[in-house]
């Protein structure tokens, strides 16, 4: 029997040792405390450490370490300044030994690697790190007690032999136990305890409630849980937590000092953060910019990226906290309905909930416009229309086309199948304006200009005060300059101002007709003289 007990004891110790090793093996770092330094000894090989520290009065800072370094939090910096006294919480994020990668836009996120994130806390007192001691005295005093089994009203005086120097006895009841009053459990309970409205009170310096599931058959759940109140080490944190005992994790923790209604669940299931009157499924209330942070750390090998979604009296915004806290998306209070609307087919409406195009801008107060502004001076394309064949832009006077879609109030400009730049009235079948890539222009009608410069006079040649040169003077200037005086030079392959040039040609044409009339008069006069001889 003794050998059997020894074997069982050995197996138990082995199991405990293996569980302790497994728990330590899963750690990212092991905290080692010194008076001025919290050293985080590496327990896993990683390429990079990020240590985030939050302290009193919203103090927050981050520390970066290479994978070959030993991360540490210094209480006193190089200038001799110490961290303020108070409770601090830290989180260590390890980056695996994989090349930092980025997902494609449509990749699904992988499961987080829990072994690459570890959290803890420490306390600073009088400018020094509080060194954690063993758990507070009293927690092991439960060990050596003698057991008495009570069955209903009959007491079994037989007790199991245990080492119990002070004579304490543990009682085991094999039937229901009903206490019509309050109950105090713990080494600091006293005779005459004042319970107030408490029904059950736990009173000592180490407070735990352990749910030990002994299921060992079939597919029954076996996980153990523990409700924990405060750390048991010197300098530890004050909190209430639910511990997953088998995993050694704390999925839920509330720190001492958390404000009223930090988390509030209404009977209908609505959850409030900072409010006892949540109106929707999740309701966040704050006196200054309620926000949600989405932080991707490096624990799964992807690049770190943090986004904030927040709102206040000035705007609702999305902040890129990783890249200079820029605000790429903002909505001002008072923005009208459907300011931005994305339809089921991907069409985007600005000011409309029924967009009829990939981008549809709708206003009703004559303010509809699109402005592309670039304050830089370097050349760039500011508006580009790209299509797999014949891109076009349409201009539509809806005051007319709403009643008659085939009216002349619709015009298209763009490219035709031959890559000519064209202009066409939507009601007509032919282009009215065609410009080829080589610069040849074809117009389906006439050209009427507003008016040329007529620097040479145009019709002024017929005015009495016009200084019309004689035929000989005009001819002399023409042969000397080798161009018509009023037309000016017309060089080969040089740009030509058609309006001005046409006006000057008209002036020369009218001048020529005056000269013709003068010559005709002279010829007529000479003919009469010849007839009279």
Domain identity same for 38 and 124: yes
Three-class SS state of 75: coil
Give Cα 226 to chain centroid, integer Å: 38
Identify the CA nearest to 289 among candidates 268, 261, 308, 267: 308
CA 284 to centroid of chain Cα atoms: 19
pLDDT of residue 497: 83
46: domain CATH number is 2.60.40.10
Please indicate, yes or no, if residue 500 is contained in any of the structural domains: yes
Tally the domains of the chain. Answer: 3
Tell me: do 436 and 411 sit in the same domain: yes
Alpha-carbon distance 503 to 463, whole Å? 16
* 404 located within any domain: yes
Residues 6+ apart with CB under 8 A from 358: 346, 347, 348
- Would residue 505 count as lying in a domain? yes
* Residue 286 forms part of a structural domain: no
Within 212-338, strands assigned E span 225-229, 239-244, 249-255, 264-265, 271-273, 282-284, 291-296, 305-311, 316-320, 326-331
54 token code pair: 């939050």
Asked if the structure places residue 362 within a domain, the reply is: no
Contact at 8 Å (CB) between 91 and 74? no
CA-nearest of 506, 494, 416, 404 to 462 is 506
User: In terms of domains, do 438 and 474 share one?
Assistant: no
Under the phi-then-psi rule, with left for phi > 0, alpha for psi from -120 to 50, and beta for the rest, what region is 222? alpha
Q: Are 124 and 33 found together in one domain?
A: yes
Q: Is 377 inside any structural domain?
A: no
**Whole-number Å distance between alpha carbons of 68 and 300:** 19
Per-residue pLDDT of the chain (533 residues; tens, 9 = 90+): 444 444 444 444 334 343 433 445 578 999 999 999 999 999 999 999 999 999 998 899 999 999 999 999 999 988 888 999 999 999 999 988 865 556 655 555 555 455 688 889 999 999 999 988 755 544 444 444 444 444 444 444 444 444 444 545 678 899 999 999 999 999 999 999 999 999 999 999 999 999 999 999 888 999 999 999 999 999 999 999 999 999 999 999 999 999 999 999 999 999 999 999 999 999 999 999 999 999 999 998 899 999 999 999 999 999 999 999 999 999 999 999 999 999 999 999 999 999 999 999 999 998 999 999 999 999 999 999 999 999 999 998 888 866 666 677 889 999 999 999 999 988 887 899 999 999 999 998 888 777 666 655 677 888 888 888 999 999 999 999 999 998 889 888 888 888 888 888 888 999 999 999 999 999 999 998 888 87
pLDDT at 160: 42
Instruction: With respect to residue 32, please indicate whether it lies within any of the assigned structural domains.
Output: yes
Q: Is 33 buried (19+), middle (13-18) or exposed (0-12) by CB count in 10 A? A: middle
Q: Please check whether residues 424 and 470 belong to one and the same domain.
A: no
The verdict on 31 and 117 lying in the same domain is yes
Instruction: List the domain range (segments joined by +) for residue 492.
Output: 458-532
The whole-number pLDDT of residue 166 equals 52
Nearest to 124 by CA among 72, 79, 88, 80: 88
90 and 31 housed in the same domain: yes
Burial class (CB in 10 A: 0-12, 13-18, 19+), 498: exposed
Strand order across the beta sheet in which 239-244 lies:
207-211, 225-229, 239-244, 249-255
Q: Per this entry, what is the length of the chain? A: 533
- If asked whether residues 436 and 467 sit together in one domain, one would say no
- Using DSSP's 3-state secondary structure scheme, residue 434 falls into strand
Residue finishing a domain among 416, 443, 470: 443
Give the start-end residues of each E strand in 140-269. 146-151, 154-159, 169-173, 183-185, 200-202, 207-211, 225-229, 239-244, 249-255, 264-265
Residues 33 and 73 grouped into a single domain: yes
In a domain, 521, yes or no: yes
Going by their DSSP bridges, the two strands 421-425 and 433-435 should be labelled as antiparallel
């Amino acid at each position: 029997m003794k050998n059997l007990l020894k074997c069982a004891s050995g197996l138990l110790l082995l199991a405990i040792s293996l569980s302790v090793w497994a728990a330590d093996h899963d750690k990212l770092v092991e905290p080692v405390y010194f008076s001025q330094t919290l050293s985080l000894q590496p327990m896993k090989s990683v390429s990079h450490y990020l240590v985030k520290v939050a302290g009193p009065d919203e103090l927050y800072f981050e520390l970066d370490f290479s994978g070959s370094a030993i991360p540490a939090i210094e209480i006193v910096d190089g200038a001799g300044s110490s961290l303020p006294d108070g409770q601090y919480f830290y989180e260590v994020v390890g980056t695996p030994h994989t090349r930092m990668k980025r997902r494609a836009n449509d990749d699904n996120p992988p499961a987080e690697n829990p072994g690459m994130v570890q959290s803890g806390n420490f306390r600073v007192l009088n400018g020094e790190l509080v060194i954690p001691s063993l758990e507070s005295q009293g927690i092991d005093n439960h060990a050596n007690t003698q057991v008495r089994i009570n069955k209903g009203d009959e007491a079994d005086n037989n007790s199991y032999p245990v080492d119990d120097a002070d004579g304490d006895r543990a009682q085991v009841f094999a039937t229901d136990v009903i206490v019509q009053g309050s109950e105090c459990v713990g080494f600091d309970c006293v005779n005459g305890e004042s319970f107030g409205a408490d029904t059950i009170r736990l009173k000592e310096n180490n407070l735990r409630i352990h749910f030990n599931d002994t299921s060992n058959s079939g597919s029954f759940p076996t996980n153990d849980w523990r409700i924990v109140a405060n750390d048991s080490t010197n300098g530890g944190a004050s909190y209430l937590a639910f511990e997953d005992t088998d995993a050694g994790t704390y999925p839920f923790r509330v720190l001492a000092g958390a404000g009223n209604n930090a988390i509030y669940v209404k009977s209908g299931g609505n959850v409030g953060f900072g409010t006892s009157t949540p109106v929707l499924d999740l309701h966040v209330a704050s006196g200054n910019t309620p926000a949600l942070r989405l932080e991707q750390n490096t624990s799964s090998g992807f690049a770190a990226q943090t986004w904030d979604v927040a709102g206040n009296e000035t705007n609702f915004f999305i902040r890129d906290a990783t890249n200079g806290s820029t605000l790429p998306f903002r909505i001002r209070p008072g923005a009208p309905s459907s300011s931005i609307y994305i339809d089921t087919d991907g069409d985007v409406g600005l000011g409309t909930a029924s967009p009829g195009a990939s981008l549809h801008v709708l206003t009703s107060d004559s303010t509809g416009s699109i402005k592309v502004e670039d304050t830089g001076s370097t050349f760039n394309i500011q508006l580009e229309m790209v299509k797999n064949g014949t891109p076009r832009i349409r201009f539509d006077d809806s005051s007319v086309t709403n009643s008659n879609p085939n009216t002349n109030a619709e015009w298209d400009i763009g490219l035709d199948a031959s890559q000519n730049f064209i202009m066409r009235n939507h009601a007509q079948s032919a282009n009215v304006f065609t410009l080829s890539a080589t610069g040849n222009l074809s117009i389906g009608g006439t050209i009427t200009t507003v008016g040329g410069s007529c620097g040479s006079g145009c019709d002024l040649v017929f005015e009495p005060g016009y200084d019309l040169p004689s035929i000989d003077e005009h001819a002399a200037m023409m042969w000397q300059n080798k161009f018509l005086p009023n037309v000016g030079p017309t060089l080969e392959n040089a740009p030509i101002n058609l309006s001005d040039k046409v006006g000057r040609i008209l002036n020369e044409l009218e001048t020529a007709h005056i000269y013709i009339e003068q010559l005709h008069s002279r010829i007529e006069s000479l003919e009469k003289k010849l007839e009279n001889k």
